[in-house]
């Protein structure tokens, strides 16, 4: 059982029969009245973010989520198809279930899928991924002194801001937690 004292970002709890990872939490001690805990929770089934307020000492069952290795196969506009690497069973997840993870998915990529009661409910992405720049404006020699940035389109269609020296065809390391450029790979 999880107490509100155990809350941390990323911890999963079971609330009203659903699994919710904690996106953000805050212990609040108002001038008058009792303290409470304000949380933002993301529903793993449909991707909805809800805000809830809990009393200190409230207890919840820990959201037991298994992680299995899957291969991302392809997407067909609305759904993303994955294959279990052990059983070769295929699973389908919607864009709502995946959330921002769709920005970093490349075909044939091996990832960990979170399973709750035998159903896939989301992805556990690595902290960084390597993606190729397919389109960006060319860097101009001597234009790096300002330390600015320019937009670049990655192979997944995601657009990020990169330094001026990045060119089309470069492989970049991207932080999946923040969605920002880290370095050239």
In this predicted structure, what is the pLDDT of residue 131? 92
If you search the block for the tokens 């192979």, which residue do you land on? 155
Q: pLDDT category, 172, cuts 50, 70, 90?
A: very high
Domain 2-60 architecture? Roll (2.30)
pLDDT above 70 for 155: yes
pLDDT above 70 for 144: no
Superfamily of domain 66-124: Nucleic acid-binding proteins (2.40.50.140)
**CATH 2.40.50.140 describes domain 128-184:** yes
Give the pTM.
0.68
| 22 Cα distance to chain centroid | 12
Domain boundaries, the chain: 2-60, 66-124, 128-184
How far apart are the C-alpha atoms of 168 and 148, rounded to whole Å? 17
Please state, rounded to an integer, the average pLDDT across all residues of the chain.
85
Domains 66-124 and 128-184 are alike in CATH topology: yes
**Hey, is 68 helix, strand or coil?**
strand
How far apart are the C-alpha atoms of 160 and 129, rounded to whole Å? 14
pLDDT above 60 for 145: no
């Amino acid at each position: 059982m999880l107490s509100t004292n155990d809350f941390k970002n990323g911890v999963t709890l079971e609330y009203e029969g659903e699994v919710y990872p904690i996106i953000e939490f805050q212990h609040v001690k108002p001038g008058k009245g009792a303290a409470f805990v304000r949380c933002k929770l993301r529903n793993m089934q449909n991707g909805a973010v809800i805000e809830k307020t809990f009393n200190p000492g409230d207890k919840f069952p820990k959201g037991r989520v298994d992680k299995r290795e899957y291969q991302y196969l392809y997407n067909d506009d609305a759904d993303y198809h994955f294959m279990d690497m052990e059983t070769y069973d295929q699973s389908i997840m919607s864009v709502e279930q995946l959330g921002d993870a769709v920005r970093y998915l490349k075909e044939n990529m091996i990832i960990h899928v979170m399973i709750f009661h035998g159903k896939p409910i989301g992805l556990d992405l690595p902290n960084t991924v390597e993606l190729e720049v397919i389109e960006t404006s060319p860097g101009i020699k001597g234009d790096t002194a300002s330390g600015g940035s320019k937009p670049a389109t990655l192979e997944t269609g995601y657009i990020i801001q990169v330094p001026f020296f990045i060119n089309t065809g470069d492989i970049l390391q991207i932080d999946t937690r923040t969605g920002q450029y880290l370095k050239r790979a």
